[in-house]
Structure 1
Amino acid sequence: MESVPVRCPACRRDHTYSPPAYPCPCGAPTAPPLLPGARAVPITHRTWNDDWVTVRCPACGRLDQWPQPELCCPCGTVLRVPVRPVTAPDDEPGPAGPSHIPLPRTAPAPRPAFRAVAIHGAGDALETAARYLRWLGYRDVVQPSKPSPARIDLRATGLIAQVDTVARPTALRDVECLWLNALSASVTCVFFSLPGYAPDASARAEGLGMPLFVLDPAGTPQPVNSPADELLSTGA
């Protein structure tokens, strides 16, 4: 793992920093490439755009959004550690790889038709999402016994899911929070929404490879992006 020297501009203390690695959907550990020689910058206020950086997986070439590397100095200053901008793989000339490379899969076994039950409230929406995940192949779907501060509504082996039933379209922050919780737990995630999604939320989920489904009041979840189409096609 690469490391860089980092000096705190507030107290002048020197540190050696290595960024955390997260698993790419292909399974390879991936860490943001640090920018040697660049000065770390104190974080005085936060924005969602500043908290994320684009990183290319060294194994499959996939581009994803990852948490911006940060270092907390003992003096109390939180530093943003600069990251090398994404260009061609390994900074060598040549065409960049596609942003989404489907992994080879065997043909899924035929599934029976999903049994739709009309949705009349939040409880019905949650039950529909759980049945749909089981239908996709997640056999151990459960609802957490206690409300989750991270708003995780359903869990299965290797998966967390959120079910949004509020009146407004699901927002960008909700999508990013679910993805970050999945990233920290090294699992995948799926979002279900009764009212649909804000345009920027849909765009970010597409870039993150997160399946989005809209809960049809008639009772059949509908895929609304390409990761959802792929999940529907292949199953768990």
Structure 2
Amino acid sequence: MESVPVRCPACRREHAYITPVYPCPCGSPTAPPLMRGAPAVPITHRTWNDDWVSVRCHSCGRRDQWPHPELCCPCGTVLRIPVRPVATRGITQAAAGPAAPSPVPPSRTAARPRPSFRPLVIRTARDAVSTAALYLRWLGYRDVVQPEVRPSSRIDLRAAGLVAQVDATTRPTPLRDVECLWLNALNASVAAVLFSLAGYTDEARSRADGLAIPLFVLDLTGTPQPANGPADELISVGP
């Protein structure tokens, strides 16, 4: 684990900060690369872009969003630790903007041929979950499990390497649902997929694109339709 000296600009106290390590879905430990010598910055207000940082796994090359390293000084000041930007094709993240993590292994280029999907007419919220389960199996996910009672995490379906949520309400799925699903997937080191009957807010769609979460819209005939680029990629490439 990497350790860097950090001075609090408020009280001038010195700290030795140890980089947090997170598990990449490939199993390798991954840590944000800290910028030695760069001053820590006090946090006065929070935004999503500042609270998360793009990190590349040195083993598999996967690029994901991880919590930005922070340190809480005993004086009460919360400090953000500077992180080296991730370079992509000769352009740094700071210049090119944050990139979405890839939802599929880079070595995969095409899915195996599938038979036509047989939809299930949706009359109830339970039907919506059952349709999503059928669709995930059709995409190629194994061991799709539908719990009898929806857990507090709001995860409706689990499969090998996947968690999925099904929003059967009549309102567009909000940003919070996308972020909560992503955090659940992050904690379990698996991928995530979201289904919705009423579509998505613009903020939810934009965030899902940034996190590479496939979004599908369910119609009452039971045929899921891709609602963003990651969903199109999942259909063409497979899990």
Task: Pick from 208, 213, 226 the counterpart of residue 216 of structure 2.
Answer: 213
- Kept in 2: contact 1:11–1:75 (CA 8 A): no
Q: How many angstroms apart in 2 are the aligned matches of 1:29 and 1:89?
A: 24
Which piece of structure 1 moves more, 76-85 or 194-203?
A: 76-85
Distance 2:133 2:91 in 1: 44
Q: 1:81 corresponds to which letter in structure 2?
A: I
| Correspondence 1:126-141 to 2 at 5 A | 126-141=129-144
Contact 1:161/1:191 (CA < 8 Å) preserved in 2? Answer: yes
CA distance in 1, matches of 2:12, 2:48: 27
SS in 2 for 1:50: helix
Q: Give CA deviations for 1:32-57 in whole Å, capped at 9, x if unaligned.
A: 22122233345455433332123345
Q: Provide the rounded CA distance (Å) in 2 between the counterparts of 1:44 and 1:196.
A: 35
- Compute the displacement of 1:212 (Å): 1.0
Q: How does 1:1-236 map to 2 (within 5 A)?
A: 1-8=1-8, 9=10, 12=13, 14-23=15-24, 29-43=29-43, 45-58=45-58, 63-72=63-72, 78-87=78-87, 103-105=106-108, 108-144=111-147, 146-236=149-239
C-alpha offsets along residues 192-213 of structure 1, whole Å, 9 cap, x if unaligned? 1111112232222222221111
1:18/1:193 Cα in 2 relative to 1: closer, same or farther (>3 Å)? same
Judge which range, 135-144 or 150-159, deviates more.
135-144
Q: How far 1:217 sits from its partner (Å)?
A: 1.6
1:136-187 Cα deviation digits (max 9, x unpaired): 1223111245543332111111110111122322222221221122122111
Judged with a 3 Å threshold, the aligned counterparts in structure 2 of structure 1 residues 102 and 187 are, in CA distance, closer, same or farther, namely closer
What SS does the corresponding residue of 1:150 show, helix, strand or coil? coil
In structure 1, list runs of 5 or more residues that go unmatched.
none
Distance in 1 (alpha carbons) for counterparts of 2:11 and 2:148: 45
More off after superposition, 55-64 vs 149-158: 55-64
Equivalent pair of 1:33/1:84 in contact (CA under 8 Å) = yes
Separation in structure 2 between the aligned mates of residue 46 and residue 123 of structure 1, nearest angstrom? 38
- Aligned-residue RMSD, C-alpha: 3.3
Per-residue deviation, 1:190 = 0.6
Q: Which whole-Å CA distance do the structure 2 matches of 1:204 and 1:31 have between them? A: 23
Count of residues paired in the alignment: 232
Residues 40-78 of structure 1 deviation map (CA, whole Å, 9 limit, x = unaligned):
345455433332123345567665432212235567764
Larger mean Cα displacement after TM superposition, 45-54 or 153-162:
45-54
Structure 2: distance between partners of 1:189 and 1:70 = 26
Change (3 A) 1:185 1:74: farther
Provide the secondary structure at the position in 2 that maps to 1:111: coil
Tell me the secondary structure at the aligned position of residue 163 of structure 1: strand
Identical aligned residues as a percent: 65
* Counterpart-to-counterpart distance in 1, 2:42 and 2:169: 37
TM-score normalized by the length of structure 1: 0.80
Task: Measure the CA separation in 2 of the matches of 1:49 and 1:11.
Answer: 27
Secondary structure of residue in 2 paired with 1:213: strand
Query: CA distance change for structure 1 residues 88 and 3 in 2, over 3 Å: closer, same or farther?
Result: farther
- Output the amino acid matched with 1:127: S
Give ranges in structure 2 of 5+ residues lacking alignment. Answer: none
Q: Within 2, Cα distance between the matches of 1:104 and 1:189?
A: 19
Give the partner amino acid of 1:214.
Answer: V
